[in-house]
Amino acid sequence: MSLVIEELNDTNCKTYLLASSGEAVLVDPVRERVERYHRLLEQRGLRLKYIIETHTHADHLMVNRQLKERLGAPLLMHRESPIPTVDEHLHDGQPVGFGDQQIEVLHTPGHTADSVCLRVGDSVLTGDTLLIGGSGRTDFPGGDAGSQYDAVVGRLFSLPDETTVWPAHDYKGRTSSTIGEERRTNPRFLDKTRDQYVAQMASLGLPFPDKIQEALQVNQSGFESGEVAFAQVPDVAAIPEVEAPELARRLGGAAPPLILDVREPEEFVGELGHIEGALLVPMDAIEKRLPKLIGYADRAVVVACRAGARSASAAAILQRAGFHDVGNLQGGMLAWTRAGLAVQR
């Protein structure tokens, strides 16, 4: 049995190469470094089997379609991920094999809804869920401090003490820790109840990272800034969120809203399906189709996507273009199907 775990960036923001018996997995690659990763894999004679993102990042640009093709491996993320370029969705407990090793996927929401930790060999890659002496912030969209407490205290801290912890970030030059060390000394969790943890996370008052809006919109949509005219934060914040059951009720009423689905065609007919009667206009076609869509400007419109991120941007574009009554399906088709509502494929 062979397993090599290596951090590749030597910066605050970490990318891991997992290698075993000629096969490799790249975890949390950073866009600007793709050529270096590619060279390294070639030099080592490793075949890249998977790219895994531990969550949707807000602080750096993730690998886009083109670079994913350059690396030549499918992208795996948890099924709560909003990102349309994901090739395979992961669920809690799923085994992911490479070489003679098997990664166990642990769904650990909190930093984001799609956060996972990856357990492999005697190690666990903790993403931004558990950091050395810290934990990932929970004030970004989809963050939830209570869930993070449950994930760390309830799950990670029950792994064997000697398990090596490899975080996605460290701002003090540290490389790894252990579960036992974190359980005994991590001040975020030490002697804290769940409520105390939630209160602590709510009072951190951290500044938002530079370019968070751009990073999130590009990462979540799978499109580049140039391909789509992304709406800015204040617009997005002004879009009313419509919960799935409420939308279902309105669709059955006298003046049903138009559902505008902004996912990719393959998602529209894919695993999650779509809402009956929904009009498909992928995110990157919205601008171009505005002259036609403007005919619906006086009608109530609810925009939908996978997880509610792309649709929030699209809804803001429509609102700016003069749509009077535009809402965003909260949580997207993930929330719609979770509510047990009917779909077509």
Query: What's the CA gap between 77 and 55, in Å, rounded?
Result: 7
Q: Taking contact as CB under 5 A, which single stretch among the options 1-9, 123-131, 274-282, 314-322 is the one that binds Fe ion?
A: 123-131
Q: Taking contact as CB under 5 A, which single stretch among the options 33-41, 122-130, 279-287, 308-316 is the one that binds Fe ion?
A: 122-130
Query: What's the CA gap between 172 and 67, in Å, rounded?
Result: 30
Per the CB < 8 A criterion, the answer to whether 145 and 202 are in contact is yes
Does residue number 261 form part of the binding site for Fe ion (CB under 5 A)?
no
Does residue number 128 form part of the binding site for Fe ion (CB under 5 A)?
yes
Q: Judged by CB, which is closer to Fe ion: 49, or 55?
A: 55
Q: Which residue is nearest to Fe ion (CB)?
A: 128
> To 10 degrees, the CA torsion angle through 277, 283, 286, 288?
-130
Specify the residue for token string 């401090």: 145
Give the side-chain half-sphere CA count within 13 A for 4. Answer: 13
Contacts of 292 (CB under 8 A, 6+ apart): none
Closest distance to Fe ion from the beta carbon of 264 (Å):
24
Q: Judged by CB, which is closer to Fe ion: 1, or 206?
A: 206
Q: Judged by CB, which is closer to Fe ion: 57, or 119?
A: 57
Query: How many residues at the interface with Fe ion, by CB under 5 A?
Result: 2
Query: What's the CA gap between 238 and 328, in Å, rounded?
Result: 10
Per the CB < 8 A criterion, the answer to whether 127 and 107 are in contact is no
- Contacts of Fe ion in 45-84 (CB under 5 A): 57
Closest distance to Fe ion from the beta carbon of 250 (Å):
35
Closest distance to Fe ion from the beta carbon of 337 (Å):
26
Q: Judged by CB, which is closer to Fe ion: 209, or 270?
A: 209
Does residue number 28 form part of the binding site for Fe ion (CB under 5 A)?
no
Closest distance to Fe ion from the beta carbon of 286 (Å):
27
Residue 123 is given by DSSP the state E
Q: Judged by CB, which is closer to Fe ion: 57, or 155?
A: 57
Q: Judged by CB, which is closer to Fe ion: 174, or 338?
A: 174
Burial (CB count <10 Å: 0-12, 13-18, 19+), residue 328: buried
> Quick count: other Cβ atoms within 10 Å of Cβ 108?
29
In SS3 terms, 265-288 reads as: HHHHCCCCCECCCCEECCHHHHHH
Q: Taking contact as CB under 5 A, which single stretch among the options 17-25, 96-104, 127-135, 318-326 is the one that binds Fe ion?
A: 127-135
Closest distance to Fe ion from the beta carbon of 191 (Å):
26
Contacts with Fe ion, residue ranges (CB under 5 A): 57, 128
